[in-house]
Amino acid sequence: MLKLECMGKQAKSGAAPQPGQPISLRTLGEYLNLSPATISLVLNNAPGVRSIPQDTRDRVTTAAAKFDYRPSFYARSLRKRQTFTVGVLVPELSDNYATQVLSGVEEYLMEEGYFYLTASHRRKPDLIEEYPRLLLDRSVEGFILIDTILEKSLKSPVVVVAGHRKIEGVTNVVLDQKRAAELALRHLHLLGHRKIAFMRGGSHSSDADDRWDCLMAVARDLKLAVLPELVVQLQLRVSTPALGYEPTNELMQRGGDFTALVCYNDISAIGAIRAFMDHGLRVPIDVSVVGFDDIQGASFHNPSLTTIRQPLQEMGTVAARILLQRIRGQATCQDMIPIHPELVIRESTCPPNTKRMGNKRN
């Protein structure tokens, strides 16, 4: 019957839609003198479409292109019970760490035909609590959280990049922090550094506690003394070099004796180098600096940063792939997906300056 209908109606087209008139299956059907069901079969390449003559199919696709007809996203979502949309939470869209992870997320989702909605919570607990509810109201199928501390499970599959909490329904994509600590401290140790200062991450950062615990464990293994006066805590919740500038000033004002500084991340390391310069110290001649992350600007800074590279874009790709596998029922929820770090040696580290070590810092 469908084939007879198509053959009987294909000889003559009706009036073209008026300018500004919404284009629907019904208006296309009136123009082509075909039923909306026939047009839907052709445009969706649905089972049974081969029963429709090729010239009829060509007329449908030509008319759809001519009038820029697009199938209703909401109708498709209702039919397939999918929205092909996920929610992504980040601390700040301008954050170098988050943007590199997000680029991997974006690339994979685009390849898979998924759209994403991004919300920046500025590390405010009330927004971290509220935004998932708002995104669920917009029918996202799952979540990717980047450097965001999650307190409880959500009603959809969740993948957290840099997550460390075991929560039902949550898969954590995490760097091997123990290996990262070994790479950073063993590098300085092999250069001859024994008096090392540390910059500890703020409690708002999801990696802070795990990274610190691993650094302390490796320091014990290497028999490196971690003196309280050589430890500073990040306080600001910003993604600019100011993050590390003030803590380094505080470190200098204490007057402790150190030859190297391990920073929480690259952006704080850049701020630390500026602070050292303001105090008349040269990096790395007077003090070596190690960063963390290997953000895009790390290799272009002067001096270029020795750092622990997190494959940030790869971490985003892994997070997106795992999330879609879980949404599609192709994978179970794993607690942890480990990612391996890499030491990148550049210009900000060298052996300690024995001449400066004997002098009292102003």
pLDDT in tens, 104-118: 999 999 988 889 999
User: What homologous superfamily does CATH list for 81-175+313-339?
Assistant: Response regulator (3.40.50.2300)
Give domain limits for the chain.
Answer: 2-71, 81-175+313-339, 177-311+343-356
pTM over 0.85: no
> What Rg value do the Cα atoms of the chain yield, rounded?
28
Say if domain 177-311+343-356 classifies as CATH 3.40.50.2300: yes
pLDDT of residue 36: 81
Q: Give pLDDT, residue 6.
A: 42
Q: Which CATH number fits domain 2-71: 3.50.50.60, 1.10.260.40, 3.20.20.80, 1.20.120.80?
A: 1.10.260.40
Of 54-58, 73-77, 208-212, 242-246, the poorest mean pLDDT is in 73-77
Instruction: Convert the chain into a string of H (helix), E (strand) and C (coil).
Output: CHHHHHHHHCCCCCCCCCCCCCCCHHHHHHHHCCCHHHHHHHHCCCCCHHHCCHHHHHHHHHHHHHCCCCCCHHHHHHHHCCCCEEEEEECCCCCHHHHHHHHHHHHHHHHCCCEEEEEECCCCHHHHHHHHHHHHHCCCCCEEEECCCCCCCCCCCEEEECCCCCCCCEEEEEECHHHHHHHHHHHHHHHCCCCEEEEECCCCCCCHHHHHHHHHHHHHHCCCCCCHHHEEECCCCCCCCHHHHHHHHHHHHHCCCCCEEECCCHHHHHHHHHHHHHCCCCCCCCCEEEEEECCCCCCCCCCCCEEEECCHHHHHHHHHHHHHHHHCCCCCCCCEEEECCEEECCCCCCCCCHHHHCCCCC
Pairing of strands 306-309, 342-344: antiparallel
* pLDDT above 70 for 25: yes
Answer yes or no: same fold for 81-175+313-339 and 177-311+343-356: yes
* Per-residue confidence (pLDDT) for residue 14, from 0 to 100: 64
pLDDT of 5 reads: 43
Distance of CA 26 to the CA centre of its chain: 42
The tokens of 90 are what?
């980040």
303-321 residue pLDDT tens: 999 999 999 999 999 999 9
Return the pLDDT at 195.
97
pLDDT number for residue 63: 87
> What pLDDT score was predicted for residue 9?
43
Identify the band that residue 8 occupies on the pLDDT scale cut at 50, 70 and 90.
very low
Average pLDDT, the chain: 88
pLDDT digits (tens, 9 = 90+) for 206-264: 899 999 999 999 999 999 999 999 999 999 888 899 999 999 999 999 999 999 999 99
